[in-house]
Amino acid sequence: MTRRPHPTPFELLGIGATAAACVALGVVGGYWIGSASRGGVVGVFVGLGVGILAAITATYFKIKSYL
């Protein structure tokens, strides 16, 4: 695996957009599941946690070539 010197601004924008999308989809999915199962706010927090974990994982795999 070759190490690249630094990311371009568009790659950084893509990393940020990916992380934001993961968190947003997690919260929306948690809200949807929480409202369907009458779980309320618990679903939102579980979705937020899943979204944050997905964002961390996606960010790691996108910046792995720069480490």
Q: How far is 31 from 25, CA to CA, in rounded Å? A: 10
Q: What is the pLDDT of residue 5?
A: 84
Neighbours of 36 (CB within 10 A): 9
pLDDT digit string (tens) for 22-49? 999 999 999 999 999 988 899 999 999 9
Calculate the alpha carbon distances from 42 to 3, 11, 26, 31, 63 in Å.
42, 34, 13, 9, 32
Amino acid at 19: A
Average predicted confidence (pLDDT) for the chain: 92
Angle (CA) 3 19 42, round 5°: 140
What is the DSSP secondary structure assignment for residue 55, as one 8-state letter?
H
Domain residue ranges of the chain, discontinuous segments joined by +: 18-66
